[in-house]
Amino acid sequence: MKATKMFLILLAVVAMFTFACNDADTPETDANTQNNEEMENQEDVDPIDAWIGEVEAVVNEYEPKMVDGALPAADLEAFAAAKAPLMEKAQTLDLENKSTSEQKAKIEPLMARMDAIK
């Protein structure tokens, strides 16, 4: 009888320990699931749309810095350094042939804004 009680107590302790360990793993698993979902969403982004986002960020950064229609010399050098890789990437992506009409509608005004920055 005493052995049965001890066995049941031991079984209860093991069960509590198991549930405690599973609860500690749950938030980590949820975080990993969220990270995996974010990575999958990033993989779904069209490279041309990503490029458009990068160009828009550069234009939005340097347009406000223009004084009397021109950038100060230091900002102009930084703008040119930021613009060069974007233009190379545009050639690699072959925007003329591979972009959709919606993407072209976004690209044309962005390129005009970028050309206006001097």
Predicted confidence (pLDDT) per residue in 42-66, tens digit: 567 899 999 999 999 999 999 999 9
The average confidence (pLDDT) of the chain is 83
Number of domain units in the chain: 2
User: What integer pLDDT is reported at residue 33 of this predicted model?
Assistant: 61
Specify whether 27 is located in the same domain as 70: no
Give the domain range for residue 14: 1-44
pTM, two decimal places: 0.62
Report how far apart, in Å, the C-alpha atoms of 96 and of each of 9, 10, 102 are: 73, 72, 13
When pLDDT is averaged across residues 88-97 and rounded to a whole number, the result is 91
The residue written with tokens 């405690």 in the block is: 20
Specify whether 29 is located in the same domain as 67: no
Dump the DSSP string for 65-106. G-BTTB--HHHHHHHHHHHHHHHHHHHHHTHHHH--HHHHHH
Per-residue pLDDT at 89 exceeds 90: yes
Per-residue pLDDT at 4 exceeds 70: yes
Specify whether 25 is located in the same domain as 81: no
Maximum separation of any 2 CA atoms in the chain, in Å = 95
Tokens at 103, concatenated: 């993407």
Evaluate whether 51 touches 93 at the Cβ level (below 8 Å). Answer: yes
User: What integer pLDDT is reported at residue 107 of this predicted model?
Assistant: 94
Specify whether 61 is located in the same domain as 112: yes
Task: Give the type of residue at 108.
Answer: E
Specify whether 56 is located in the same domain as 3: no
User: What integer pLDDT is reported at residue 23 of this predicted model?
Assistant: 59
Specify whether 78 is located in the same domain as 107: yes
Bridge-partner residues for 70, per DSSP?
A: 67
